[in-house]
């Protein structure tokens, strides 16, 4: 499926643009990655004793895979609400530069801020990547409708995946249930590694994994925050050191 040319009458209706956005989810391998990831999140929610409604609400209103697994894992292993909220807040900071960089792609001089509300809510790493790929092929005045369609499609795929994963975890044999749960760490590890373009990102990922078991031994209840802050700051130090030498 190719999008119609920029001057095509197909783009005259915002609803058509929404439909083109919706159909574009079939044009990317990231949809499959999202499906697998959210299958795992559904299973993780089940085995961490959350309800299906809870899992679906987290996908709909949080709409950030890393934040969702941080939330499920920390709350499920007995962290306090404050500890979970801090970890999620820090993980979500990266949404800020994403929103800042993606919204100008859809803005026209006549665009009102409230028209961008859903686009801002739908912004997460997958949508961010796809906007940079698809939006140059969409007329500027139809981009908000297109992005809303794309985001609506991706959210629907993830809600379906959550539901399937939840029931699979409830009904499968132990081995297959374990296989579904293993999807989460694998898909997050590799998608984060794939998105790591700079040395600081690679060091943060590798050190973050290696330092967690050490931080967990301290049993402070803040394991994730301690290992994250230390590993992230060392990674930043490596970045800084290379900049200074360069």
Partner 1 sequence: MSFAQLIGDWHALAVLFVAGVVPNQIWRMLGLWFGGGIDEGSELLVWVRAVATAILAGVIAQIVVEPPGALASVPDALRYGAVGAGLVVFLLTRRSIFAGVVAGEVFMLAGKWWLG
By CB under 8 A, the residues from 24 to 83 that bind partner 1 are: 29, 32-33, 36, 43-44, 46-48, 50-54, 57-58, 61-64, 66-71, 73-77, 81
Residue 136 or residue 236: which is nearer to partner 1 going by CB?
Answer: 236
- What residues from 145 to 204 belong to the interface with partner 1 (CB under 8 A)? 169-170, 172, 174-175, 177-194, 196, 198, 200-201, 203-204
Residue 19 or residue 172: which is nearer to partner 1 going by CB?
Answer: 172
Q: Are 144 and 119 in contact (CB under 8 A)?
A: yes
CA distance 79 to 104: 38
Residue 219 beta carbon to partner 1: minimum distance, rounded to whole angstroms: 12
Residue 2 or residue 26: which is nearer to partner 1 going by CB?
Answer: 26
Among 103, 144, 150, 161, binds partner 1 (CB under 8 A): 103
Site string for partner 1, 83-102 (x = CB under 8 A): -xx-xxxxxxxxxxxxxxx-
CA distance 170 to 101: 40
Length of the chain: 246
Sole residue written with tokens 């795929």: 157
Tokens of 164: 């399937």
Residue 162 beta carbon to partner 1: minimum distance, rounded to whole angstroms: 12
Residue 19 or residue 75: which is nearer to partner 1 going by CB?
Answer: 75
DSSP assignment of 147-184: HHHHHHHHHHHHHHHHHHHHHHHHHS-HHHHHHHHHHH
Residue 123 beta carbon to partner 1: minimum distance, rounded to whole angstroms: 6
Residue 1 beta carbon to partner 1: minimum distance, rounded to whole angstroms: 21
Interface with partner 1 (CB under 8 A), residue total 111
Residue 9 or residue 114: which is nearer to partner 1 going by CB?
Answer: 114
Among 116, 144, 147, 154, binds partner 1 (CB under 8 A): 116
Sole residue written with tokens 């919706």: 22
Distance between alpha carbon 65 and the CA centroid of its chain, in Å?
4
Residue 154 or residue 169: which is nearer to partner 1 going by CB?
Answer: 169
CA distance 203 to 207: 6
Angle between helices 143-171 and 14-23 (to 10 degrees): 40
Residue 6 or residue 176: which is nearer to partner 1 going by CB?
Answer: 176
**Residue 123: φ, ψ to 5°:** -70, 120
**Residue 87: φ, ψ to 5°:** -60, -40
Taking CB under 8 A as the rule, does residue 218 contact partner 1?
A: no
């Amino acid at each position: 499926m190719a999008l119609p040319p920029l001057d095509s009458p197909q783009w005259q209706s915002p609803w058509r643009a929404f439909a083109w956005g919706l159909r574009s989810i079939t044009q990317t391998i990231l949809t499959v990655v999202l499906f697998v990831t959210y299958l795992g999140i559904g299973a993780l929610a089940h085995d961490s004793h959350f309800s299906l409604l809870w899992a679906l609400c987290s996908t709909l209103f949080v709409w950030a895979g890393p934040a969702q697994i941080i939330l499920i894992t920390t709350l499920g292993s007995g962290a306090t609400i404050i500890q979970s909220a801090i970890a999620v807040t820090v993980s979500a900071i990266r949404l800020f530069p994403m929103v800042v960089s993606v919204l100008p792609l859809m803005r026209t001089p006549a665009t009102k801020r409230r028209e961008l509300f859903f686009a801002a809510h739908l912004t997460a790493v997958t949508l961010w990547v796809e906007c940079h790929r698809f939006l140059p092929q969409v007329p500027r005045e139809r981009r908000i409708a297109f992005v809303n369609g794309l985001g609506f499609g991706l959210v629907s795929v993830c809600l379906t995946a959550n539901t399937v994963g939840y029931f699979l975890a409830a009904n499968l044999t132990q081995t297959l249930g374990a296989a579904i749960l293993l999807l989460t760490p694998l898909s997050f590890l590799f998608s984060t590694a794939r998105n790591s373009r700079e040395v600081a990102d690679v060091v943060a990922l590798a050190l973050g994994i290696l330092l967690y078991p050490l931080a967990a031994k301290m049993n402070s209840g803040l394991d994730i925050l301690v290992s994250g802050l230390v590993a992230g700051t060392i990674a930043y130090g490596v970045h800084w050191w290379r900049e200074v030498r360069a």
